[in-house]
Amino acid sequence: MIKKYFLIIKIIFMKITKYLFPFFILLLLVSKSYSDDFSDAMLKAKSNLKKATDTYDEKSLLKVRGEFERILQLKKDQWLVYYYISYVDYNLSFSGMKDMKKDIIKKYTESGLEMIDKSIDLSSEFCDSYVIKLALTFNRWMYEQDKMTEIIATSTQADEMAKKLDSDNPRYHMVNGTSLFYMPEMFGGGVDKALTEYEKSYQLFQTRKEKEEYYPDWGKDLICGYLAQAYIKRNDEGDMVKAKMYIEKGLEINPDCAFIKYNIQKQYDEKRNEK
C-alpha cells in the first residue's frame, strides 16, 4: 500500500515538473533579457553623459537626463538611476557659475538634491550618493548663506556617511578637497589641506575598480585638473612644474576634458605670464 502511495506521488511530481520546467526556463530567459535591457540602456546613457560632461553643454546634459528618466520605467535599480539624474543636475548647475546666475545654480542644485534624496531613500548604503549630496550642498553657499547652520549640518551628515561606507572612495576625497580649496584657512580650509585630499584621491583612482560597469567611475581626469589648479594657486618652488605634469596626465586620460583644456590650462598660462 505504501509503495503504491509513493508511486502515485512520484507520477504526480513528474507530470508537474514536465509542465513547469518550460515555464521556469522561459522565466529565466525573460529575466536575463530584462537585465540586459537595463545594462545596455545604462551603459549607453553613461557614455552619452561622459560626452556631455566633457563640454558642460546644457542641451546635451538635458538630453542625457531624459535618457535616465526613461530608464526609470524599467523599474530596476531605480536608486542608481536617480543617482545619475542627480549627477546630471550637479553638472547642469555649472552652467550658471560662469556668470554667477544664482537662479540657475539654485534650480539645478535643488533638483539634484531632490533626486539624490530619492536615491538614498531606496538604497542608503551607496557611498557615491553621499559624495554627490556633499557636492550639491556645497553649492548652496552660493545662493543661501543665511542658512549656514542647515548647510553645515547637512554637509556633516553626508560627509560622515560617505566616510563610513567607503573611506577609500576617490571621489569623496576629491569633493572634500574642493571644499577645502575654497574654504578660508581661518575656517579650516586652504590650498595645502586641499592638496592632501587631492593627492590621496589621485592615488586611490589608480587602483579603483567599480562593482559594475555601469556604476559611476567619473573623476580620474578631473582630479588631475584639481591638482594642477591647487599647485598653480600655491605657486611654491616647483609647483608650476607639478601643475604642468598633472595637466598633461589629465589630458592623456581624457583629451576632451574641457575643464582641463580651457579652464585649468588658461589659469596655468596666466600664472606663467605674470611678471
pLDDT in tens, 204-234: 999 999 999 999 999 999 999 999 999 999 9
Q: Is the dihedral of CA 172, 211, 224, 266 positive or negative?
A: negative
State residue 5's pLDDT score.
Answer: 52
Place of cell 511530481: 13
Residues of the chain with pLDDT under 50: 6, 13, 17, 20-34
**pLDDT at 21 (0 to 100):** 45
The Cα 203–Cα 184 span in angstroms is 25
φ, ψ of residue 131 to 5 degrees: the values are: -65, -45
> Grid coordinates in use for 239?
609647483
Q: What is the pLDDT of residue 219?
A: 98
Strands (E), the chain: none
The per-residue pLDDT for 26 is 38
Phi, psi of 188 (to 5 degrees): 100, 5
What is the model's pLDDT at position 8?
A: 54
Interacting residues of 237 by C-beta distance below 8 A, sequence separation 6+: none
Helices (H) and strands (E) in the chain, counts: 12, 0
Give the three-state DSSP class for 193. helix
Task: Give Cα separations from 126 to 29, 116, 212 (angstroms).
Answer: 29, 11, 13
CA distance 117 to 182: 25
105, with CB counted inside 10 A (0-12, 13-18, 19+), is buried
Look at residue 98 in the predicted model and tell me its pLDDT: 76
pLDDT for 122 equals 98
- Residue-level pLDDT at 32: 42
CATH class of 168-275: mainly alpha
C-alpha cell at 143: 545662493
Q: What is the pTM of this model?
A: 0.86
